Structure 1
Amino acid sequence: MGLAGASTAYRSGRGGTVQMTVEKGRPSDGQSISRAVAVLRAVADKPGSSLGEIAKATGLARSTVQRLVGALNAEGLLVKTFGQQGVYLGMELARLGAKVEIDARALLRPLMEDLHGRIAENIDLTTIEHERVIVIEQIASNENIRVISYVGKQHPVHCTANGKAHLSQMNLAEAEAFLVPPLEAFTAQTITDPNRILDQVAAFREAGLFIDREEYSDDACAVGVALPQIGGRSLALAIAMPSSRFQRREEEVKAALLDFRRAVQAEFGASI
């Protein structure tokens, strides 16, 4: 009986030809999964790819690609119709994808905790739901004098750091729909002119930092950043604190937020 995954070799010697069985190393489960994922990604990047094109894109042997495509086709993850060259993504992927609900709170919480360990001030993660900016995750300040927030709190879009960060992710028509006059003046510093707000957002979009200097609440300031979308949701994160501390720590907080955004981008890419 032969060995699975083995090959036969022959060596000549004094006693004649000697048959030897050489066992080939099998890929581990992890390697097999990685190769299958590479095939799926290659087909996603170029639907209708031939086996040869997939092999070139993945760096796998054509025979390996043929075996993986056959297995993925049997599971409905790929479709390769008999007699046709092209390979396409299967409907089973769509069915599985429809069951996935990506939880931005769970994914970002560890990075938020790292940020809080560095800054120790109030941190709000917000999204937009039903045309409202809503806090979906929050870590409170460690300070005795602090800005208070909570999960479920609604933020006005026109005068908060995270609200402006959300505006920066919208096209002009979408942003204007959020800035229909009259806009409420929460403090003497609140800007209520939609054009001035849009100009301010545009001016700070490149830097990626958006500031509320006592526009939402007297004696409170905040700075926020827009984040990559997760699960199709617009996301922003802001750090808020009393104005006196913000004046001392502004540059430190800005640097920490930019580091946070880079960490999110490194972990999750532009969006997931």
Structure 2
Amino acid sequence: MSIAPTPEPPATPSPPAGAALALDGVRLGHPDGAAVPGTVTLRIAPGELLAVVGPSGCGKSTLLRTLAGLLPPLDGQVTQDGEPIGRPAADRALVFQHDALLPWRTVRANVELPLAIRKVPRVERRRVADDWLDRVGLGGHAHKLPHQLSGGQRQRVQLARALAGRPRAVLMDEPFGALDAHTRAGMQDLLVEILRGTGATVVFVTHDVDEALHLGDRVLLLGAGQVLDVRHPREREAQHAPATAELRRRILESL
């Protein structure tokens, strides 16, 4: 008598590798408006979290929109994995300060949206959305509408929606800026937790120097044209270390 081998469980798809982003001699600005002074030349490694700080008007949000493909550079070239970025793409997700959830869609339906646009089957959309809602601690809120949630909860939904499509790059424009200090710290920790293992490259714009030092592998001082390495990213106890204090001083001076 022969015994049939036990079938192996289906393999869980590995997360996509993070995108390599690059700007070469890029001049930022709107075609019908003023240009941001100077040019930007920068390499962002796959899987890196680059925090971006700088004074108001230095082009932080413009940089994100250029990387997203929403705004063409006035000069120079922006690439992903060596290919020019000329338009938005599903593997680059934007996360804003204001959650931008669709008020008439439930929490689950909002998270499903990028998958629906890509015509992912309904059963799979629901499975992925429910998984991400569980990961951000909102598994019991799938049926609610956005106005029934707190500001921090809505930002969790926005984060789940951005990551549900398994992007290779996540571009975040002060996503926690409108939250109170306690909620903001919780969102920072949640971001660290759920990005671990996704492989995504993250560009994170913030006005908060301590947030930049906590989250970033490197910090780009956009107005000053400097990039600083962070010795202990994502370790809260490192905020009192001499090396962190020196980085904080240099960043504050640049602002």
**Larger radius of gyration, structure 1 or 2?**
1
Decide which structure has greater strand share: 1
Give TM-score scaled by structure 2 length.
Answer: 0.28
Relative CO higher for 1 or 2, CA cutoff 8 Å, sep ≥ 6?
2
